[in-house]
Every structure is written in structure tokens, then in C-alpha cells.
Amino acid sequence: MGAGVDPWSGFEGHERVIVARDEDTGIGMVIALHSTVLGPALGGTRMNAYAGASDPHAAAYADALHLSRAMTFKNSLAGLPHGGGKAVIVADPRERTTELLHAYGRLVSTLEGAYLTAGDVGISVADLDVISQTCPWTTGRSPEHGGLGDSAILTAVGVLAGLRASLEFALGRTGVDGTSVAIVGLGKVGGRIAEHLAAEGARVIGYDPDPQACERARDQAPGMTVAGSLAEVLDADVDVLSPNALGGLLTPELARTTSARVVCGAANNQLAEPSVAGLLAERGVTYAPDFMVNCGGVIQISAEHAGGTMETARAQAEAVALTTRQVLERAQSLGVTPVTAAEQQALERIREHRARTGQVV
């Protein structure tokens, strides 16, 4: 870790945080276990160099802590027998090697099943197949290696279920036909969301800084308008804003100016700061918390770990619609933000489980 990093900063509420360095490459790794009350912690691995940060290792550490906490809420709301965890490999994905992935797998294995790792930004299904060679607690693998494949498929299913439920709650619409949607991020999940929305009659405008992602999405979603810049897609007059790239998109300024009446997407940590949830609520914008709707991927990899099927996992991902309605109605009834309502509902399940089992963790 960098010289200026307080090793205890943000640790409160986490059961365990592991900071390691691969001896051969000098690349740092962080694994954060926020909770194992409901079962082994489950969460993805992110590979990111944090090139824009003054201290990349400190940024990775903070990211792992923040993301692992969100995974606890996500897994609880999804009804999974798992707590929350997250890992970060501090490297540019272009630096990946078999040796590095094997080293990471060995690090996860030292936790002896307390953490189940999966994919996230910068880690592919093929990478997980390699990690599984040194770590039996790897999920999200290809069917050829005993897995259920790319978890982006069911992540998109869950987000779409949450989006439809949010539209019905906020605008009384029972479908997306005729609805206008701005999508930020046209990668594996965002591209699928664009495809499904366009097929169902929505007017879609999307943006991604990667020209190849834009081209793929244009092929997937004929009729979609591809914006030339982030500003263009954020300024578009739309019903729904769907963040599907890296976090922090929803700044106070955007919360005050967006035309969208619903915000629902797959990106983790969408709020640039906690106060944004209140700003959106004050303007009557319905925000579907990311950890509530983007759980389709963890549902899939949990099913993979338990020997389940894609069919049962898909049905559970589609049930995100019910959870979304419950949370939004709770928020309205209690006069709190959807983020607070979702966290309350997740914590209730954790507390009930702890009381029922007598756990002291």
C-alpha cells in the first residue's frame, strides 16, 4: 500500500480485508469480506490500474471496501445464501498473464471458501477459467469448465425487470413501448439492455467511449441513436437514464438537471456521493438502487456454485421486479429514499438470519 494510506480507514463493518502483492510482478491485490452472516461472501474481481488516482493502491482499497459492502446488500435483497465480498487486482487488464491469474487464485484459496470469486470489470469468463485452475472457489466459468457462462446475460435480465417495475411505479406504464431511454455504457450488459429495449419499442440513445462497443450495440439494437459524447447522452430529453459503465455517474449536478424520471442501470456505485439519493428524491426522480437491480449476475453464479440451472437462475433474476416494487413502495410509505429502503430491507433479512441461527458475527 502507499505510504499515505491508513490501513484501518473504512474497515469498520468489514469482517476481513486482505492486502497482498504478487512477488513476481509486484502487482497489488485486495480482497474485502464485508459479511458472511448469510453464507460465504460472494462477489466479483475487478482488474483496474486506477491510472488517474494519485495513489492507485489506496483507490483500489477504497473501491474494494465500498463494493463489498454493496455486495452484502445485493446478495441479501436477492435472497441468496451469501454475504458480500469483492476483490481488486491493481493492474491494467492488458497486463494480465496466466501467472498473475494463478497467483490471484492462490490468494483466494487461502480463505478456504469464505469468499467465492467471480468476474467484474476487467475480468472475463476466460480469465475465470484460468483462475479456477488454482482456486476451486471460482464461479462465472465457461460451460466447458463447469460453469454457466457469461453472467452479463442475467445481469441484463434483472436490470430490465427493475426498469419495467420502476417505470410502472413512477409513470404508470406497463411496458417500455414508446419510452425514451438514455444508456451510458454499451458493453456486455448495456448492449444487451439496449437490444431488449429497442426490440420492445423503446427509443434508445446510447453512448460508450469505445467505438467497437458502439458498433456492436448498433448491430444489436437497430434504430438506436449513438451519441457522440457523454454530454450529449446525458443532455438528451428522456424518460429513463440507465448507467451501465463505471460508478460515480450520478453527481449532484446531474441529479439537479437530468430530464429522466427514472434512473435504473447495472453500474455499481452510481451515486457520486450519498446525498445524490436525496437530491433525486426531492425532484421526484425514481432511483432504482444499483445493488437492488444488478443482482442477476450474482444470482447466476450462486446457482452455478450450487449446481443449479440457467432456467431457475433466470426466474430468480426476473423476480427483481417484485423486489423493486416492494422497495419503492416502502420508500414512499416511510418517506425515505429508495437507497435507504433497500438497505433496510436487506439488513432485516440479515438480522433475522442472525437471530434465527444465533450467529455472533
User: How far, in Å, are 22, 33, 40, 58, 225 from residue 103 at the CA level?
Assistant: 7, 19, 21, 21, 43
CATH superfamily of domain region 153-294+322-339:
NAD(P)-binding Rossmann-like Domain (3.40.50.720)
Q: Is 10 left (phi over 0), alpha (psi -120 to 50) or beta?
A: left
Q: What average pLDDT does range 99-121 have in this prediction?
A: 95
Asked whether the predicted pLDDT for residue 287 surpasses 50, the reply is yes
Res 3 pLDDT > 70: no
This prediction has a pTM of 0.87
- Per DSSP, the residues of 226-268 read EPSSHHHHHHS--SEEEE-SSS--B-HHHHHH---SEE--S-S
Active-site positions read: 86
E strand segments, 48-128? 83-89, 115-119
Per-residue pLDDT, averaged over 120-137, amounts to 94
What are φ and ψ of residue 244, in 5° steps?
A: -135, 25
How confident is the model over 206-247, as pLDDT tens digits?
Answer: 999 999 999 999 999 999 999 999 999 999 999 999 999 978
153-294+322-339 has the same fold as 16-67+84-149: yes
Q: What is the pLDDT of residue 8?
A: 42
- Low-confidence winner among 1-5, 112-116, 127-131 (lowest mean pLDDT): 1-5
Instruction: Return phi, psi of residue 87, to 5°.
Output: -135, 150
What are the tens digits of pLDDT across the range 167-181?
999 999 999 999 999
Alpha carbons 71 and 75: distance in angstroms, whole number: 6
- Quote the pLDDT of residue 149: 84
Q: What's the Cα-to-Cα distance from 217 to each of 71, 111, 294, rounded to whole Å?
A: 28, 39, 19
> Could you tell me the residue ranges of all domains in the chain?
16-67+84-149, 153-294+322-339
Q: Convert the pLDDT of each residue in 4-59 to its tens digit.
A: 444 444 455 899 999 999 988 889 999 999 999 999 999 999 999 999 899 999 99
pLDDT band at 193 (very low <50, low <70, confident <90, very high): very high
Contact 260, 238 (CB under 8 A): yes
For domain 16-67+84-149, give the CATH superfamily.
Answer: Leucine Dehydrogenase, chain A, domain 1 (3.40.50.10860)
Please tell me the predicted confidence (pLDDT) of residue 359.
Answer: 67
- pLDDT number for residue 286: 98
- Over residues 317-327, the pLDDT tens digits come to 999 999 999 99
